[in-house]
Amino acid sequence: MYNKRTWLNDIDKPSTGSMVSYHGQSDWSEKDICFIELADCHSKIRLHKTDNDTMQEFCRKLRTIANDAELFAKYLESL
């Protein structure tokens, strides 16, 4: 089982922001579930590994997101 919760904002900031990464059992499925969730005080995005995805395909999606987020951050820092 993997369950990691990360706060994205500094503790002295009033805004909420978090990331949850989870792989393990759930109460609503006999199969393990796998997802990553990004949240702020207004919205949430949860990307699940579907039954149609292999673990490698889901990992490829996560790496694509991480790579694009890194490129975007570098772009914004260059402004």
Q: Under a CB-based contact definition with an 8 Å cutoff, are residues 17 and 40 in contact?
A: yes
Instruction: Evaluate if residue 50 carries a pLDDT over 90.
Output: yes
Pairing of strands 17-24, 44-48: unpaired
Instruction: Evaluate if residue 27 carries a pLDDT over 90.
Output: no
pTM (predicted TM-score): 0.87
Q: Residue 29's pLDDT is what? A: 81
In whole angstroms, give the CA distance from residue 53 to residue 1. Answer: 19
Q: Residue 55's pLDDT is what? A: 97
In whole angstroms, give the CA distance from residue 79 to residue 65. Answer: 22
- Mean pLDDT, the chain, as a whole number? 95
